[in-house]
Structure 1
């Protein structure tokens, strides 16, 4: 497995076009692997290509990729990087082996994390109707979505000491439980994405795609290293083709950015 970081040159028109569409980013990412077909393997446990865009400032945007093979981002450098500055030693992106880091994960370790995800649930509006996948749109429910997945994903989000909590736990309208600021977890950058995609390759038939994405920042403790390795290499949640599901870790005392 490999972890790659590419800084996007937001001053370039090609970069701005790329950032305007998760489909374009997905296609560009998948084109970085000459031996990888752009179709799913069907094996839920197989490593897959994950990606995420982090916009730390208006002119500071990073693309992170986790992949089973080493990528070649030459086309991305030419479209949205600094091609004149690229050399054989510094081609315009950084790639490192991910396995050594993954192998060092141990139960009890504490890390800062970042995750962009598509928190959804399934609802039935009236009796007899099929369930429909629907986005969570409030921070309370988005946070709850992640908390419900932490145990099987190999980690637990760290709780704040009582004297550091500003808001009490309690209930919202309609009795939905919330946790105040019990956890070292923030939910930010909610985005509603809407675009169309082809139903099948090689056809002109298209259908709409609507997504709500959010970014989680926080601190976690490793509870199951093997499960966490699966989370880091296979992703968490839906819409992985559109920049969701990639969790990255950093030393807890530093910024959460890969």
Structure 2
């Protein structure tokens, strides 16, 4: 299924006490630059580059505290990086000429994610399961899921996060190998869904879903379905 319309990240960071604005940065990187290509070829370098957009010295949980999630994807305008954060990003910390950059303070979408609303979604996720006792020497290890098994994983995870999936298509992306040995099998899910738990959906959008969030997985992008 082809998802119509532009998919963007969420407009707000939601807390029990109220709503705080979040930001979305779109970067069309200059692929003629060596530093850009080095970043795109190295998950650890790319993670560090994205974290430059938020303050230093935030501790071991800096990514989660700053709400940093990102995704790399090809578009009709070329390769782009979508970066979401709950802190206003400091674009001056990117190298001059790194790429074409657009910053938006997002508003309106989360407030419209009410019960029964239909949406289009996109997410690059790391579908996986921990093997049980019957797996022999592989007991306790994480197994990547592909194909129908990955789609079943996504439908279940979406339901747990307030989305009833109506349609789903999946496409395997290039595996992410970080820090030499950590491997994330990435699958892109596109489709349509209906909101069944607005608060759960908002938190999923803001916090991300699944493993590998530091390396480009977990950013749930939603767009309201056209009526």
Corresponding residue number in structure 1 for 2:26: 5
Distance 2:94 2:225 in 1: 31
Tell me which stretches of 4 or more aligned residues in structure 1 moved more than 6 Å. none
Equivalent pair of 1:53/1:61 in contact (CA under 8 Å) = yes
Q: Name the CA shift for 1:188/1:128 in 2 (closer, same or farther; >3 Å).
A: closer
- For structure 1, which segment, 5-14 or 23-32, has the greater mean C-alpha deviation from structure 2 after superposition? 5-14
Q: Deviations over 1:75-125 (max 9, x none)?
A: 43526215xxxxxxxxx3222134x32122111111111100011111146
Unaligned stretches of 5+ residues in structure 2: 1-21
State whether structure 2 residue 186 is matched by structure 1 residue 231: no
State whether structure 2 residue 32 is matched by structure 1 residue 49: no
Equivalent pair of 1:235/1:245 in contact (CA under 8 Å) = yes
Tell me the secondary structure at the aligned position of residue 194 of structure 2: strand
Cα distance, 1:47 vs structure 2: 6.6
Q: Name the CA shift for 1:107/1:47 in 2 (closer, same or farther; >3 Å).
A: farther
TM-score (norm 1): 0.71
Corresponding residue number in structure 2 for 1:67: 85
Query: Over aligned residues, Cα RMSD in angstroms?
Result: 2.5
TM-score (norm 2): 0.80
Distance 1:209 1:35 in 2: 24
Q: Name the CA shift for 1:18/1:155 in 2 (closer, same or farther; >3 Å).
A: same
| Residue-pair matches, total | 205
Given candidates 120, 126, 130, the residue that maps to 2:128 is 120
Q: Deviations over 1:19-53 (max 9, x none)?
A: 1122112111111112562521698xx67211111
Tell me the secondary structure at the aligned position of residue 88 of structure 2: coil
